Structure 1
Amino acid sequence: MMTQTIRTIAGIAPVVHADPAATALVLIDFQNEYYDGKLPLPDGLPAARNAARLLAWADRLGMPVFHVQHVGAANGALFAAGSHAAQIHPLLAPAPDHHVVTKDRVASFAGTDLHAQLQALGVHTLVVAGLMTHMCVSTAVREARSFGAGSYRVLVAADACATRDIADWQGGVVAHADLHRATLTALHDNFADVRSTGAILELPVVAN
C-alpha cells in the first residue's frame, strides 16, 4: 500500500533552512472571538503561546510579520467590526513594524493585498500559524500554492494552530483533535511542510 505524500512523489524538497529576508510569518485570526467569544477553541491558548514563540523568533531575525484579522459587519454574528471579539489576542498584539491585513471572509489572499505586500518584500516562503485549522488556515495555505510560478513554499506550525469540535453531516460530531490532525495531514500531502513549532525554531538561518 502506497503511503507516500504527493509532495514526496513529486520530488518537492522540504524546507531545510530559514532565510529571514525571504520568509514571512503569517498569523491568521488570533482574535478574541476564539477565546472568550462565540467560538472558543479547546486548544486556542496553547496555539497562541506557540505562535508567540514564533513571533519572538521572527522579530529577533528581522523577519516580516503579517497579522491577518477577520473583521465582519458592525452588527455581524462573528468578528463584529469595532468589537472586543474582533480584536487580536493580547499574546499576539501587533508591533508597530508588523503588517496587519484585514479580511471579511475565510480567505486571507482573495480580497486583500496580502500577496502584493509579500511580493513587494521579496518573500517566497511562509511560516503559517492560526485559527481555525480546518477553515482559515487551510484556505490560506491552499491559496498560497495557487499563484503558479509565484506560489509560496509553506511551513505550517501544527501546534500553533487549533480548531473546534464540529457537527458532521451525519448527525455526529467530529472531535477537534481529529479534525485538526486530518486537516494538517491533507495539507502535508500536497500543500505544505507541517512541523512543530520547536522544529521550525530549530531551522538553520541562512541568508541567500
Structure 2
Amino acid sequence: MSNSKTALLVMDVQNGIVPHIGDNLEEALATYQKAIHSARKHDIPVIYVRVGFSEGYPEISPNNKGFSQISKYGGMTVNDDATQIHEAVKPEGNEPVVTKYRVSAFAGSNLEVILRSQQIDTIVLSGIATSGVVLSTLREAADKDFKIKVLTDACFDGDPEVHKVLIEKVFPKQADTLTVNDWTSTLD
C-alpha cells in the first residue's frame, strides 16, 4: 500500500493542553507515540499543529469569545512553554510544527501550503480536543476535498459524551474513523 500521499496530523498535543486529557495521561500519550512511530516507520509525514499567539495578541479579536480570555490573562504566546509540543511526542528532524491562530489547524497557518506542496491528499487526524481542533479541522479539510481518517483513540475531549457523539455519529459522515491499532495494521 502506498502512503506517499498521506500525512499524520498531531494537533494541540502541547504542554498547556495535554493536562486536559485527565487521569490516563501516560496511556493517552502512548497512543500518540504509537501512531507517530508507525507513521515514521512507513515514511508518512508527521505534521505537528499547535495554537499560539504573538506577543501583544494582535491575532485575538475581542469578539472571539474563547480566545479573548487568553489576551486578558496572558500566556499562550509562541515562545511560552504552554505552546511547545509535549516532550513525549516531540518532532524529529524536519517534521514541521505549524502554528495556528484559531481552532482549525488551517486557520491562519501554513498547513494547507505544506500539504499541497507535498501532494498530500489524505490526512489522519489526532488531537486534543475532539470538539475543538479535531472537529474544526475535519470540517475544513472536508471542504478542501481532503480524504480524512480520524484516530478515535488519539482524540480526547473534556466531555466524554460529546467525544462519543462526534466519533460515532458526526465524523463518519465526512471521514473514516478507526483506532490507532486498526490504522497501523493497514500500513503493514
Check whether TM > 0.5.
yes
**Equivalent residue runs for 1:20-35 within 5 Å:** 20-35=3-18
Alignment correspondent of 1:58: 39
Shift of 1:65: 1.1
TM superposition outliers: structure 1 runs of 4+ over 6 Å = none
Partner-residue secondary structure (3-state), 1:126 = strand
Alignment correspondent of 2:113: 116
Partner-residue secondary structure (3-state), 1:33 = coil
What TM-score, normalized by structure 2, do the two folds share? 0.83
Shift of 1:53: 0.6
State the distance in 2 between where 1:83 and 1:60 align. Answer: 31
**Equivalent residue runs for 1:1-208 within 5 Å:** 19-36=2-19, 40-42=20-22, 43-74=24-55, 76=70, 77=73, 79-147=76-144, 151-164=145-158, 176-204=159-187
Shift of 1:80: 3.2
Bigger-Rg structure (1/2)? 1
Greater helix proportion: 2
Moved more, 92-101 or 183-192: 183-192
Shift of 1:187: 3.5
- Tell me the percent identity: 25
The one-letter amino acid paired with 2:28 is A
Partner-residue secondary structure (3-state), 2:9 = strand
Mark the runs of 5 or more structure 1 residues left unpaired by the alignment: 1-17, 165-175
Relative to structure 1, the CA distance from residue 59 to residue 137 in structure 2 (aligned partners, 3 Å threshold; closer, same or farther) is same
Report Cα offsets for 1:134-159 as digits up to 9, x if no partner: 11111001111102xxx111110011
Count how many residue pairs are aligned between Structure 1 and Structure 2: 171
2:18 and 2:128 in contact (8 A); partners too = no
The one-letter amino acid paired with 1:92 is V
Partner-residue secondary structure (3-state), 1:145 = helix
What TM-score, normalized by structure 1, do the two folds share? 0.76
Partner-residue secondary structure (3-state), 2:177 = strand
Mark the runs of 5 or more structure 2 residues left unpaired by the alignment: 57-69
